[in-house]
Amino acid sequence: MSGAHHIVLIALFSAAVQSGTTLLYPTIGEIFAERAGILNLGVEGMMIMGAFFGFVVTYITKNPYIGFLAGVLAGGISALIHAFVSITLRGNQVVSGLALTIFGLGFTNFYGQKWINLRSPVTVSQMSVPLLSKIPYIGPIFFKQDALVYTSYIVAIVMWFILYKTKVGVHLRATGQNARAADAMGVNVYATRYWWTFFGGLLAGAGGAYLTIAYAPFWLDGMTAGRGWIAIALVIFAMWDPLNAMVGAYLFGGIDALQLQLQAVGVTIPSSLLNMLPYLLTLIVIIIATLIVRVKHISAPKELGIPYNREEK
């Protein structure tokens, strides 16, 4: 293979990781909310909130890391609305999540007009990880990225550890499987669900903020363009496991990067069909993943979407 091809491929995979990062954060967040028994279909809304506040605060402070934190918080605070409606008031989680999406898209359209098409003055800088970045292929793809990408690796690994190897993880899983039994074990079901729903929002905000701070550093109305829904689909693909989420996120990041690359080099396939690819493939993958999940007898957390009422026997 010639050197030029090599460089193109590395650039493509590297872009795949960046696009995948916008999905990896929200997917991990939703995995933990669902593990606690809360279905939050508001990921798209929380992501766009994170994207908007991430962009605006970066623009004003000229510091992408403060911007990122603002986006993370915006996602988390949005999630608290859903937490209150679905945990305290035991409302329908499907409708509440949809309302959250409508809210995020409406809010950012309403306040975002004057920011449209502005470009961020700063972006996160790339930094190579010593030693690791020297590994052939893997190095330039995974370890010549920015700090926010590295943070996402750490989040995935740490969250996997927490989920399967700690008491917190045991309690979390119990809450989603059987809230009454978890309660009997001494777990505070309400607090657990509140916290992980909030956490899910923080990470959805992170995914959105990464989009406007690093991957596409400008603001467009509705620019998350369904990434939140793809993240929800990836939760099933990942079988509720944060490490599997990495595989799913980079796979879809890859498709996204590929279709952009193909458009850039001007292939004759119409751009509308290329744009369709990630959604079409998500649909196909979700069908396959559902079938595999059934064969393997892995299931969604048993009490996903079911409110808990401590006083009702």
Partner 1 sequence: MIRFEKRESTSTSLKILIPTVSIILGILIGAVAILLKGINPIKVYQALLIGAYSSKYTFSETLVAATPLILISAGLIVVFKMNFWNIGAYGQYIMGAIFSSYFAIFWSPHIPKLIMLTVMVIAGMVGGALWAIIPALLKAYWEVNEVISTLLLNYIALFILKFLMYGTWRDPLSHGFPLSKPFPDNAQLPRIIPHTRVNLGLIFGIIAVVVVWYLLKKTKFGYEIRVIGENPNAARYAGMNVAKNIIIAMIISGALAGLAGMVQVSGIIHLLQIKINPDYGYTAIIVAWLAYLDPIVASFFAVFLGGLASGAYQIQITMQVPFGIVGVIESAILFVLIGSEIFMRYRLVFDVGKKKHSGQEETL
Q: How far apart, in Å, are the Cα atoms of 31 and each of 21, 163, 203?
A: 15, 10, 10
CB crowding 133-161: b at 16 or more within 10 Å, else e: beeeeebbbbbbbbebbeebbebbeebbe
Q: In whole angstroms, how close is the CB of 86 to partner 1 at the nearest point? A: 8
The first and second tokens of residue 287, run together, are 């069908």
- From residue 189 to residue 228, the character string flagging contacts with partner 1 as x (rule: CB under 8 A) and all else as - is -------------------------------------x--
Pick from 153, 190, 195, 229 the residue near partner 1 by CB under 8 A: 229
Q: In whole angstroms, how close is the CB of 101 to partner 1 at the nearest point? A: 8
Q: In whole angstroms, how close is the CB of 69 to partner 1 at the nearest point? A: 22
Per CB under 8 A, does 56 bind partner 1? no
| Residue carrying the six token digits 């290329």 | 274
Per CB under 8 A, does 280 bind partner 1? yes
CB atoms within 10 A of CB 32: 25
Helix (H, G, I), strand (E, B) or coil at 211: helix
Pick from 2, 4, 5, 110 the residue near partner 1 by CB under 8 A: 110
Pick from 21, 96, 152, 244 the residue near partner 1 by CB under 8 A: 96
Helix (H, G, I), strand (E, B) or coil at 217: coil
Q: In whole angstroms, how close is the CB of 295 to partner 1 at the nearest point? A: 11
Per CB under 8 A, does 262 bind partner 1? no
Q: In whole angstroms, how close is the CB of 267 to partner 1 at the nearest point? A: 15
Per CB under 8 A, does 255 bind partner 1? no
CA distance linking residue 30 with residue 301, whole number of Å: 12
The first and second tokens of residue 4, run together, are 């030029």
Q: In whole angstroms, how close is the CB of 298 to partner 1 at the nearest point? A: 13
Pick from 9, 119, 270, 302 the residue near partner 1 by CB under 8 A: 270
Sequence-ordered alpha helix ranges (H) in the chain: 3-35, 43-61, 64-83, 93-112, 138-142, 147-165, 167-177, 179-184, 189-210, 227-237, 242-264, 271-295
Dihedral of CA atoms 97, 99, 100, 103 in degrees, nearest 10, equals 170
Strand-pairing partners, residue 254, are none
Query: Between residues 185 and 288, which has the closer beta carbon with respect to partner 1?
Result: 288
**Which range binds partner 1 by CB under 8 A, 58-66, 144-152, 209-217, 282-290?**
282-290
For the chain, the maximum distance between any two Cα atoms, rounded to a whole number of angstroms, is 70
Query: Between residues 121 and 270, which has the closer beta carbon with respect to partner 1?
Result: 270
Pick from 72, 233, 246, 255 the residue near partner 1 by CB under 8 A: 233
Per CB under 8 A, does 103 bind partner 1? yes
Of 72, 74, 100, the C-alpha closest to 85 is: 100
**Which range binds partner 1 by CB under 8 A, 7-15, 99-107, 145-153, 193-201?**
99-107
Name the residues that contact partner 1, by CB under 8 A. Answer: 41, 81, 84-85, 89-92, 94-96, 98-100, 102-103, 105-113, 226, 229-230, 232-233, 236, 270-273, 275-276, 279-280, 282-283, 286-287, 290-291, 294, 309, 311-312
